[in-house]
Structure 1
């Protein structure tokens, strides 16, 4: 069974944020870090995984991402700080 993730990347603490959805979080973080896909995250150096949620169904993950795209920045920051108050890079957890 596939797992889907909604995730937030940051350039640094309280820096630029990027919100996305993927079916392979490890691969997607690597793509952001290596700038394999040109776009927003490559242009602004947004590559630190600071928050994510996992879903069994893609429709749920896409609905969550779409809802969060409408959120104010302060709400996203509060979500990050609730789960990851020091804004640690969570990518290492993915490979553990």
Structure 2
């Protein structure tokens, strides 16, 4: 059973938040960083991992991703601040 990741990315100014999920987060982060300008993360330079959580089950990850996508911006900011108040890039921990 693989670990599933739900994550939030941002740009350098923290003006854009992107929520996603993956079972291979390191590989997915590389894909985001190499995206072309016609993708959302490429267009807005959203490459900084500021939050992630794990679960064992794909269905739970998908459900959580959908939940976070529906949240308003302030709730997402509060979630990030709760675990990463300095908004450091957490990709080095993956």
Normalising by structure 1, what TM-score? Answer: 0.91
Q: Is the 8 A contact 1:19 1:65 kept in 2?
A: yes
CA distance in 2 between partners of 1:57 and 1:12 (Å)? 31
> What is aligned with 2:2?
2
CA distances 1:43-94 after superposition (whole Å, capped 9, x unpaired)? 1100000000011000000000111111000000000011000000000011
C-alpha contact 1:50 1:84 (8 A) present in aligned 2:
yes
Return 5+ residue gaps in structure 1 as ranges: none
1:56 aligns to 2:56 (yes or no): yes
State the distance in 2 between where 1:31 and 1:68 align. Answer: 21
Structure 1 stretches of 4+ moved >3 Å: none
1:29 is aligned to: 29
**What are structure 2's unaligned runs of at least 5 residues?**
none
**1:37 Cα shift?**
8.9
- Root-mean-square deviation (Å): 1.5
Equivalent position SS for 1:18: strand
- Distance of 2:85 and 2:13 partners within structure 1: 10
Please state whether the residue corresponding to 1:14 is helix, strand or coil: coil
**Cross-structure match for 1:74:** 74
Helix, strand or coil at the partner of 2:67: helix
Query: Are the equivalent residues in 2 in contact too, given 1:6–1:52 (CA < 8 A)?
Result: yes
d(CA) in 2 for partners of 1:64 and 1:2? 16
